[in-house]
Amino acid sequence: MNQQSHNQLVSFIWRIADDCLRDVYVRGKYRDVILPMVVLRRLDTLLEPTKDAVLEEVRYQKEEMQALELDDAPLREASGYVFYNTSPWTLKKLHSTATNNQQILLANIEDYLDGFSSNVKEIITRFKLLDQMRHMADKQVLLDVIEKFVSPYINLTPHEVEDPEGNTLPALSNLGMGYVFEELIRKFNEENNEEAGEHFTPREVIHLMTHLVFDPIKDQLPPVMTIYDPACGSGGMLTESQNYIKNADGPIQAQGDVYLYGKEINDETYAICKSDMMIKGNNPENIRVGSTLSTDEFSANRFDFMLSNPPYGKSWSSEVKYIKDGKDVIDPRFLVELADYWGTKETADATPRTSDGQLLFLMEMVNKMKPVGTSPIGSRIASVHNGSSLFTGDAGGGESNIRRHIIENDMLDTIIQLPNNLFYNTGITTYIWLLTNAKPDARKGKVQLIDANLLYRKLRKNLGDKNCEFAPEHIKEITDAYLAFAPIEREIDANNDPVGIAVKVFDNEDFGYYKVTIERPDRRRAAFSAERIAPLRFDKSLREPMAWLWAEHGEKVYESGFLKGQVKGITQWCEEQGITLNAKQRGKLTDTKRWTNLRDLLETATVLMGDIGTEETADFNAFRTRVTKAIKARKLKLSAPEKNAILNAVSWYDEAAEKVIAKRHKLSGADLDELTTHLGCAIGDLADFGWYRQKDGSYMTYETATDLRDAESVPLKDSIHRYFLAEVKPHVEEAWVNLDSVKIGYEISFNKYFYRHKPLRSLDEVTRDILALEKKADGLIADILGVEVESELESAE
C-alpha cells in the first residue's frame, strides 16, 4: 500500500468517529471504540475466506467425534491462523441480517465475540470491547459503526478489491496494518494531548536500529533467532526486525526461524501488539502483559537480539517495592558486581533514581543476554534513551554503576546521537545505545560515539513533536560509519557551520573517573557563653517547633503527658509555618523523656561553663582537654554524642585558629610500610594524604572541616596523587587527599567530545553591523559615540 492509500484509509477510519460517535462519547474516548474495531475487522477479514472450513471442523468435532470440548489444533489449521471463530457470524453477516432492534443485534454480536479462540478473547477483554458494544447498542449507534467498518469503500483485507465504482482498493499488508494502528494511536493521543510516541517509534528509526543490530553479523545468524523487547508497545520493533531478517529482497535473506517476545504494561497497546502477532503468524503467547520491572516474566529466557525504546523520564516509584526492600535491592537483575578503588569486589546497587526508570529496562536486557559460550554471536542490544542515561548520577550511584558495569564488561559498543524532534512525543536529544557481549577483536576495549544529530530532512507537516526524519541515505551513512569503526571529522560549510556526521573512537577507560574527597583541617575557636549553650535545650533537627513550645508553655513541657495533649496545636502551628513533620519527628516532639534529657544536657553545660569560664581561645585542642578534665572531675555521665553536642555548641570555625587534632599516631617501620603500600605513596608524601610527621617521629591526623570539604573528578587514566599535586595543592596548601573516600564513576558527554568552537566575528564585522543599524536609527548611536556614520562605514568596508 502506498503512502497516499495509507493516508486515505486512516482518514476514512478517523471520520467514522466523527460520523457515528460524536453524541455518544466525548472526543477523548473515541479511541476506545475505533482501535478495537479496527483490530476486530482486520481479524474478521482474515477469517472470512476459511469460515466454512472452520464451521465444518466444528460440526465434525461435535457430531462425528462427539467432542464435549473443541480441539484447538484442527480449528487453527482450518482457519490458517493461530486464532479462529466458531460462530456462524461475520461482521458483514451481522450487518446484512440486522434489523433496527439493537438488542437482537447485540445478542448476535455477543455470540460472534464468544466464538473466538481464547487468545482473541483476551484481546477483546483488554480492549473492553463488549462493554463498548453494549454502550453503543444502548445509544442506538452500534449498527452504524458496524456498517462503516464493513463498507465496500474501505479495504482492511490483505487482498486487492474493487469498490462499487470500480476503483481499486489496494491490499492492506500486515506491515501496512501496523502503520494504520500506529498512525491512529498518534492522532488520538495528539487529540488528547497525550504522549503520541509513548507506544511506538518512528519507522525510520527502527530501520536504522535493525541495520545496526543485524548487518555486522548478517553472515553469522543462527538457525533459530529470538528477539525481545521489554517495552514492546504495539510491537513495531519486533515485527520490523522480523521483516528485516526475513525479507527475501533484503541484504540478509536469513533462512532460520525467528521468534518474537515482548512485554507491555498498557492493556490497549498490548492488545494491539498481540493481535498483530497473531495476524502475522507469530506465537501470541510470547507477548505478555504487565510491568517488566515488577515481574521478571522471561527469567528463564536468554535472547539473541533485543531492541527497545523504553519510557524515559517516567517514575517507577510504584514498582520500588518489587525491586528494593528499603535500601536493599532484592531483584538480582538490578545488582552488579564491581570492584572498589582497592580492587575488592562487592555487590552494588544498579537502580537509578525513582523519577526515571529507563536504565532499568537496559539492565533487564543485559540480564537476558546469551553467554558467548552458548552462542558464538552472544547477544546484541539496541536501545533508545534520552541524555540523562549518559551522565546523571554520581560516582557510586545507581546510574553510574549501570554505566560502569556495562563499560567495564566491554559490552558498550556504540552510542549514536540522533537529531532533535525525531520522535513523536519529545523534542529533546535522543541516543541509540548498541551493546554486545561478543565484540570482534578490533572493537574490544573500545567505544564508538557517532554524532548524527545534523543528519535529517524536514517534514512538510509536523507529526506531534516530530518535524524531521531520516532519509534512506542518512540510514546508510550512519550504518556505514558504524561498520567502519574509524574517526570521521565533521565537515564545515561556507558559513563555517558544521554539517554531516562525526565519529570518535575511545578507550573504555576514557569515560571513567575517580571521585575523590579533598579535605582541609578544621580550625576552631571556642568559648562558653549562656547564649551559645541555650540551644542545647532543643533537638537540633526540631529547633523551631521546640523553641515555640518552650516559649508558649515553659516548664510545663517537662510534665508527664502534657505534650500529648498539644498534638493538635503543634500540628496547626507547623502547618502555618510550612513545616512538615514525619511520624518519628512528631514522636520526638511530644516525648517528655527526650525533653528532659535535653534539659539535663543544658544544665550540664551550664555547670561546665561555671568550671571553665567564658574566656575565648583559638586553641580548641587545649579547650577540649579542659572540658574533658572537668567532666571527669565532676564525674558527669555524658555519652560521646552529648559531649560533642556541647563542644560543637560553644565552638566555631576560624581560619586563624589552631588545627583541631584528631589523633597522634606512633607508627613502627612495619606500620609505615603498610600505610604507604595502602596509599600507594612514598613516606615523604604522607602529608598529601593527611598524615603529618612530627618532630618526635610520630604522625598527626587532623579533624576535617566539613564545610570546606570538596570533591574532584580525576580521569581513570590519570594518577590521583599527580592530579592533586598539579591541580589542588598549588591553590590550597593545607589540603589533603582522603583516599578512603574514592569512588569510581562513569559518564559520557557528547557535548564535551564533539564541541567545536565557532570563532567570534571580527571587530570590523561587528562595527559594520552596528553602524548599519545606526544609520536606520537616525544617528542616535553616532551622537553617543561621537563618530560619523558614513566615514566609519567606508572605513569598515
Count other Cβ atoms within 10 Å, centred on residue 393. Answer: 21
The neighbour count for residue 262, using CB atoms within 10 Å, is: 29
Instruction: Give the domain-ending residue among 653, 682, 698.
Output: 653
User: Are 479 and 534 within one domain?
Assistant: no
722, part of any domain: no
658: nearest Cα among 747, 525, 465: 525
Residue carrying the nine cell digits 510491568: 291
Q: What is the 3-state secondary structure (H, E, C) of 489-557?
A: CCEECCCCCEECCEEEEEEHHHHEEEEEEEECECEEEECCCHHHHHHHHCCHHHHHHHHHHHHHHHHHH
User: Residue 365 in contact with residue 306, Cβ under 8 Å?
Assistant: yes
Residue that is written with C-alpha cell 482457519 in the block: 79
H or E segment and range at residue 295:
none
Ranges assigned E (strand) in 654-795: 661-665, 692-693, 699-702, 710-715, 736-746
Total structural domains within the chain: 4
E strand or H helix at 389: helix 388-391
Q: What is the largest CA-CA distance in the chain?
A: 112
Q: Is residue 191 part of a domain?
A: no
DSSP string, 249-264: TSS----SEEEEEEEE
Report d(CA 724, CA 264) in Å as an integer: 50
- Both 541 and 485 in one domain: the answer is no
Of the residues 600, 620, 653, the one at which a domain ends? 653
Q: Are residues 134 and 213 in the same domain?
A: no
How far is it, in rounded angstroms, from Cα 34 to Cα 183?
12
d(CA 200, CA 585): 47
**Class of residue 279 by CB neighbours under 10 A (exposed 0-12, middle 13-18, buried 19+):** buried
- Residue 762: CA atoms inside 13 Å, Cβ hemisphere, count? 5
- pLDDT at 599 (0 to 100): 95
Buried/exposed 717-732: b ≥16 CB within 10 Å, e otherwise: eeebbebbeeebbeee
Query: Which domain CATH number covers 445?
Result: 3.40.50.150
Residue recorded with cell 464468544: 114
Shared domain check, 553 and 463: no
Angle (deg, nearest 10), helices 118-127 and 31-47: 160
- Under a CB-based contact definition with an 8 Å cutoff, are residues 531 and 577 in contact? no
Pairing relation of β-strands 699-702 and 502-507?
A: unpaired
Eight-state DSSP code of residue 660: P
Return averaged pLDDT per consecutive 10 residues of the chain, 797 residues in all: 68 86 85 90 93 95 90 94 94 89 90 95 93 92 92 88 89 77 74 52 90 93 94 89 81 80 91 86 91 95 96 91 95 96 95 94 97 93 95 94 97 96 80 97 97 90 81 95 95 82 96 97 97 94 93 92 90 91 90 94 95 96 96 93 95 96 95 94 96 95 95 96 97 96 95 79 82 71 57 50
Residue 102: its pLDDT value, please? 82
**pLDDT for position 793:** 47
Picking from 653, 677, 696, the residue at the C-terminal end of a domain is: 653
Domain extent at residue 614 = 524-653
User: Residue 491: how many CB atoms within 10 A of its CB?
Assistant: 12
Are 253 and 397 in the same domain?
yes
Query: Is residue 189 in some structural domain?
Result: no
Sole residue written with cell 558464538: 376
| Distance (Å, whole) CA 197 – CA 424 | 5
Cα(321)–Cα(294) distance, integer angstroms: 8
pTM value is 0.85
Looking at the fold, whether 531 and 475 belong to one and the same domain comes out as no
Domain annotation covers residue 622: yes
Residues 35 and 128 placed together within one structural domain of the fold? yes
Please report whether residue 373 resides in a domain: yes
Element holding 683 (H helix, E strand): none
The string of DSSP codes covering 743-783 is EEEE---HHHHH----PPPPHHHHHHHHHHHHHHTTTHHHH
| Secondary structure (H, E, C), 205-238 | HHHHHHHHHHHHHCCCCCCEEEEEECCCCCCHHH
The answer on 587 and 495 residing in a single domain is no
**DSSP string over 79-127:** HTSS--B-SS--HHHHHHT--S-HHHHHHHHHHHHHTB-HHHHHHHHHH
Is the domain of 444 the same as that of 562?
A: no
DSSP per-residue letters across 163-185: -TTS-EE----HHHHHHHHHHHH
CA dist list (Å): 155 to 2, 158, 162, 163: 14, 8, 9, 9
Same domain for 641 and 772, yes or no, is no
The answer to whether residue 728 is domain-embedded is no
**Which cell is 505 given?**
573512537
Angle at 211 between CA 209 and CA 214, to 5 degrees: 100
- Judge if 546 and 432 occupy the same domain: no
Please name the helix (run of DSSP H) or strand (run of DSSP E) that holds residue 427, with its range, or none: none
Q: Is residue 181 one of the residues assigned to a domain?
A: no
| 742 phi/psi in degrees, rounded to 5 | -60, 130
Q: Compute the chain's Rg from CA coordinates.
A: 36
- Looking at the structure, tell me whether residues 574 and 486 fall in a common domain: no
Distance CA 252, CA 214 (A): 8
Nearest to 208 by CA among 469, 505, 580: 469
What are the C-alpha distances in Å from 111 to residues 89, 94, 130, 440?
A: 8, 11, 11, 58
Residue 790: what residue type?
E
pLDDT of residue 208: 96
Beta-strand ranges (E) seen in 397-499 are 412-417, 430-436, 446-451, 457-463, 466-469, 491-492, 498-499
With respect to residue 198, please indicate whether it lies within any of the assigned structural domains.
Answer: no
Return all residues near 578 (Cβ < 8 A) that are at least 6 apart: none
